[in-house]
Structure 1
Amino acid sequence: MPDKARNDPHASMTRGERIRAAARTLRTPRTASWVANETEVSVKTAQKYLNQLVEDNVLRKIEQGDQTLYCVDQLMATYREVAALQREHSREELTNALDSLRSKITGWKQSYEVETPGELRASIADLDDADEVETRREVASEWEHLSDRIPVVRAALNEYDWATKRDSISA
């Protein structure tokens, strides 16, 4: 077996699996040609699987000029994430997680005397200590991430009873 195939984790994946894996990581809209190149398949094959993912509400198809672009359907991804949180965690666990997220952000606001991650990033301009600059960058990044998580956890809590009633299997 050639060294490349032995070291490539995608070597054992089918064309469809490679395309699905690549598609789920699309953070910016990409063409079928780009996906085909990344996954080493023909454009026609990439289009076939990408269109299946659009039908399955995993990807969105965007027409931009004469190009068709594909990207992750963030709304559906969020719905799936909310459902996963509801299935994998109790109401109490989700409540504790929400409290923890808010507490961390409140602590950073107090520690750095800022109200937003942007203000924290801007405060870097006044620093000479490289370690403190790096710490503030990391905190700002984490703060942005946690700020994005709060509405998802809140949504899971808001609809917890409704979702668990509908998710139960009646015998």
Structure 2
Amino acid sequence: MDAAERVRHVALTQTEPQNAGWIATEADVSRDTAVKYLTRMVEHGDLEVTETADGTCYKPDTVTQFLQEVRQLAEENTLAELTQELNAISEEIEGWKERFEVDSLTELRQTIGSEDLTGEDRRERLAIIEEWEYNKEIRESIQLAISLKSSLSTLGIDSLSADSSTTLSQEG
């Protein structure tokens, strides 16, 4: 990878905001080089700038990441596969509701404080809470990917790829 690719990789794979010096060290580039590429990434909407105790820091733009995830899901899966995954998520959540006799994620969270639970039971429930939260997030992405595929189909666009020669009409 060249310097720009290394800075991009390091900056976009972080879950917490990082300053230019840290990113430069991780990407094995000078701080000035990192700042140059980070600034471009901010201008292109790939990164957000935030102020922390470490000064000016950079983090992946959450909207851009979310939209890229939706596009990737739509590109890599058929409508049937996306629908099947939605069903699997729903069944898993229903299973947890039945198993723990709760109606919602909030109710499951509230059970963590129960004095009847062992430490192992609490850890298991915390892991399920984390997975339930992830399922809610991915479910939203899948639903939008289905909508994207359906909308593109309605417009007569067969592919989401950047090299597609299909263009939208300027009429209407």
Given candidates 122, 127, 137, the residue that maps to 2:126 is 137
1:4-83 to structure 2, matched below 5 A, reads 13-62=1-50, 67-83=55-71
Which residue in 2 is equivalent to 1:108? 96
Q: Which runs of 5+ in 1 are unaligned?
A: 1-12
Tell me the percent identity.
32
1:124 aligns with 2:112: yes
Change (3 A) 1:82 1:167: farther
Q: State the Cα distance separating 1:64 from its structure 2 match.
A: 7.0
TM-score (norm 2): 0.77
TM-score (norm 1): 0.78
Change (3 A) 1:32 1:163: farther
1:89 aligns with 2:77: yes
RMSD, aligned CA = 2.6
> Does the 8 A contact of 1:86 with 1:160 survive in 2?
yes
Per-residue CA shift, 1:28-51, capped at 9, x if unaligned? 222212322333432211111212
The structure carrying a bigger helix percent of its residues is 1
Q: State the Cα distance separating 1:151 from its structure 2 match.
A: 0.9
Which SS does the other structure have where 2:90 is aligned?
helix
Q: Which runs of 5+ in 2 are unaligned?
A: 167-172
Per-residue CA shift, 1:82-131, capped at 9, x if unaligned? 11111111111111111111221122122112234343233233244333
> Does the 8 A contact of 1:118 with 1:140 survive in 2?
no
